[in-house]
Each structure stands twice: as C-alpha cells, then as structure tokens.
Amino acid sequence: MKLLAIPPFLDVRFVPVVLLVMGLSTPGQAEITSLDSANIDDVLNNAGVSIVNFYADWCRFSQMLHPIFEESSNIVREEFPETTQVVFARVDCDQHSDIAQRYRITKYPTLKMFRNGMMMKREYRGQRSVVAIADFIRQQQVDPVKEMKSMEEANTLDRSKRNIIAYFEKRDSDNYHTYEKVSNILRDDCTFLAAFGAVSEAERFSGDNVIYKPVGESVPDMVYLGSLSNFDLTYAWAQDKCVPLVREITFENGEELTEEGIPFLILFHVKEDPESLEKFQHEVARQLISEKGSINFLHADCEKFRHPLLHIQKTPADCPVIAIDSFRHMYVYPDFKDINIPGKLRQFVLDLHSGKLHREFHHGPDPTDSTPGQEETGEEVASSPPESSFQKLAPSETRYTILSRDRDEL
C-alpha cells in the first residue's frame, strides 16, 4: 500500500478534505471473480445473475473496460449485497482459451449474462459506462412476473404479444419458484403473469396451472401438461412457445443470432408479401421441425438486405428467395415455387449438413446424389466452428454471408 506524504506545512485538519478532492478516498474493494475451468460452473450455477467480462490483456478496449467494470460492481454490490444475487466475473481468454471457445467468444471485450448458470442469448451491448452497466443489472433484477389481481385482467391482454399466465395456490411454492426462474430467462420473449389464492381458484381445478396465449385474438390457448416442479420440462415448453420457430433477422440482431453458432435458413421477402412468409413458416414446421437446434429459421426484409442479395445475384425483384448462410458461403434454394414439394426444403438443409452444398459450390454438381444426411470425408462444414460474420476473410476466398458488411454501415 502506497502512503501519501503530507507536507509539514499542511494543517492536518484539512487532510480529509484534500483526500476527498483528490479522489483518494478509499472505495469499496471491487468483487470481481476470476473464472477458470475449475470454478466456472460452480460460480455461475449458484448465482442468480452473473455478468462476465471475457477479455484479453493485449486488447486496448479490454484495458479500458476494467476500471469501469470494477466500479459498476461496487455500485451494484451496495444495492444487492447478497453475494449470490449478482456476480461480476471475468475470464482471461488468453489464459483460458477453452472457456472462450465454449462460449464462442470472437471479440474482446465481450460481456455475457448468465442466469443460474444458463447463458442468455443476448449479450450486453449497451454503453460501456459505470452508470449504463449498473442500470442494466438493476433492470435484470426487476420481477418479470406481473401479478393479476382479478381474472378480468386475462381478458384485456395485449394479444399482439406472446403471453403466459400461471395460476398458483400460493406464491411460496416450488411450482412458482420454477415458473419465476423460467420467466427470468425468457423475459425478453414473452409476457409472464400469475394469479394466486382465491383469484386463481377457478383455474386450479386440477392443481396449479399454466396457460400459453398465442398472438392473435382467435388462436386457442395451450395448456402445459408437464410437471411444474421440473425446471427442464417447464423451460423447454415455455421456450417453444415464446421463441417463434421462424424469427426475423435485422442488422440490429444479426450478430446476436450469429453467436448462437448454427447456420441460417433465410427467406428474403418483401414486407408487402405476407403470403410467402406464411408458406415458409408452414413448410418449416412441416418439413424441418426435427432440424430445430441445428439450423436457425429466419426471414429478412428484401429491401433492407438488398446488398447481401446482390452477392447471390439476386435483387428485391427476385423475392421471395430462400438461401442458407453457413457462415462460409451463401447457398441459394433453386426455386421458391418448389417449397411445398414434400421433402424438397428438408433435402436442401440435409445437403448442407452432409457437405454436398459446400462441395458443389467449389466443384460443380455431383455426378450422383449422395445419401441424405451422410457425412462426407474430408469436409469440415459440420464439424468446424462457425466463423463470425464480421471476421476478415482471406483474399483468396470469395466468401460472403448475410452480415458481411462493415460495422460503419450498420
């Protein structure tokens, strides 16, 4: 500890004032937990909310973030003193490259949020300031479940949003704690409501009950039939309802979707053509539901993505167009009109997984069709980790992906 030398001519009565003015008053020690392979699972699994700074010492922006992150931790710790309620942690990605690879870290610094050990899809992308980071954590502490005081509130819901309503005998129960945990994870995807005691009694004819109300006034409700005490089952059901099978990709959420680490199957369509989107959604649900988790189903505005379309020799006038973005190349589906041919769209996706699309991109059509889903020797499409769409490409490659635009353009 360095000691401050006080000149003999300085009246000691003014020392505290001088220290305050000079900013040398001792702040609370920042509680930043350094994570490694030995402690990361234990630390994250036992924390309600964790925000983790993935950094590299050689990175100037990482160096600039360190004091900001520490001061944010100090502020948050004063407001939420329970040590497992909020955890600020960091990972040195040079020292722990296995952790960086596990969480697909491709840029520094990256701030990712976890809830009870589960990494959230949306990383922190706000301003890197003490106030902004502290405000973000405060928002994460707001209860996402709105309590209904009367059953009439269920009839006045905003049906343009996805709503999940739960009916419990009491708040202090394992069933509600599971529901609360699920709602915290999916708070950005669904609106969660709950009723308790006498208010919920009419809906609890067979015990605690959870209902999903889809978008649209005339769409029927869906009831959860699993065990509310089983988090995995409850979360899987809610995620299936809250996260649409086909999502819209924009330049605002594109990098976030890329970080999920699986290829894109994209419908490019004009906003004034809802029929094409409906057909695409129907065929994805009919042909490709088993592929969910191995490829992301997306739709994009042709006008906004005019630039990417040019690189696959298309224009908005050609829409609707279907393409796969593998993060190496974009592969165009032959003809949108064939989308309703049984198995046609599915085979297109299987040809990606088998390596056929990649092989034919470089060497022309195969002389014979390969077995659907068969793994090709020598190909790395299925096993290689995906590249970030913002990474620089080698001059010898002609790769292009939907998000391969300079950051300044976004």
Joined tokens for residue 157:
């819901």
pLDDT of 283:
95
Q: Which pLDDT value is given to residue 384?
A: 38
The answer to whether residue 24 scores a pLDDT higher than 60 is no
CATH for 33-141, among 3.40.50.20, 3.40.30.10, 3.60.20.10, 1.10.1660.10? Answer: 3.40.30.10
CATH, range 247-365+380-393: 3.40.30.10
Identical topology for domains 33-141 and 247-365+380-393: yes
Residue 134 has pLDDT above 60, yes or no: yes
pLDDT value of residue 387: 42
282's CB contacts (< 8 A; 6+ apart) are none
Distance from the Cα of residue 89 to its chain's centroid: 19
Residue 17 has pLDDT above 90, yes or no: no
| pLDDT at residue 47 greater than cutoff 60 | yes
Task: Check pLDDT > 60 for residue 3.
Answer: no
Give me the residue label for tokens 């809250």. Answer: 242
pLDDT digits (tens, 9 = 90+) for 400-410: 566 654 333 33
- Tokens at residue 234, please? 């409850």
pLDDT computed for residue 18 by the predictor: 37
For 86-126, write each residue's pLDDT tens digit.
999 999 999 999 999 898 888 899 999 999 999 987 889 88
> How far are the Cα atoms of 4, 33, 115, 326 from residue 258, in angstroms, in the given order?
51, 28, 21, 10
pLDDT score, position 123:
84
Domain regions of the chain by residue span: 33-141, 145-242, 247-365+380-393
CB atoms within 10 A of CB 241: 20
The dihedral region occupied by 343, where left means phi > 0, alpha psi between -120 and 50, and beta the remainder, is left
Is beta strand 209-213 parallel, antiparallel or unpaired with respect to 222-223?
antiparallel
Q: What percent of the chain has pLDDT over 90?
A: 60
C-alpha to C-alpha distance for 169 and 203, rounded to whole angstroms: 10
CATH 3.40.30.10, applies to 145-242: yes
Find, among 377, 325, 334, 378, the residue nearest to 352 by Cα: 325
Mean pLDDT of 315-341: 93
Cis before 320 (ω within 30): yes
What average pLDDT does range 312-325 have in this prediction? 94
pLDDT for 157-176, tens place per residue? 998 899 999 999 999 999 99
| 308 vs 401: CA distance, rounded Å | 7
CB 146 within 8 A of CB 192: yes
What is the 3-state composition of the chain as percent helix, strand, coil, each rounded to the nearest 5? 35, 20, 45
Provide DSSP, 293-349: TTBEEEEEETTTTHHHHHTTT--GGG-SEEEEE-SS-EEE-S-GGGTTSTTHHHHHH
For residue 347, give every residue at least 6 positions away whose Cβ sits within 8 Å of its Cβ, in sequence order, or none. Answer: 372
Does residue 83 carry a pLDDT above 90? no
pLDDT of residue 369: 54
**Is pLDDT of 204 > 80?**
yes
Mean pLDDT of 273-293: 92
Residue 377 in this model has a pLDDT that exceeds 60: no
